[in-house]
Amino acid sequence: MLDYKIGTVVLMKKQHPCGNSEFTITRIGADVKIKCNQCGRSIMMPRIEFNKKLKKILA
């Protein structure tokens, strides 16, 4: 079971177009919303997809 909550910083397998791959979780439901820690843009994706794309939980 992946242990993350709102505010958790995660490393994703695929980096954002801005070149960063560290994101902060801002919403968790059927979809997970993450915010890029470099450019501040948000991405939303189904939780299943998020779990697949997640590389590492950082903090």
Binding site for Zn ion (CB under 5 A): 16, 18, 20, 36, 38-39
Q: In the complex with Zn ion, which residue's Cβ is closer, 4 or 24?
A: 24
Q: Could you tell me what percentage of the chain is helix, strand and coil, using 3-state DSSP and rounding each to the nearest 5?
A: 10, 45, 45
Q: In the complex with Zn ion, which residue's Cβ is closer, 32 or 36?
A: 36
What token pair was written down for 16?
């954002």
Q: Cβ 13 to Zn ion, closest distance in Å?
A: 15
Which of 17, 21, 40, 43 has the alpha carbon at shortest distance from 32?
43
Q: In the complex with Zn ion, which residue's Cβ is closer, 1 or 8?
A: 8
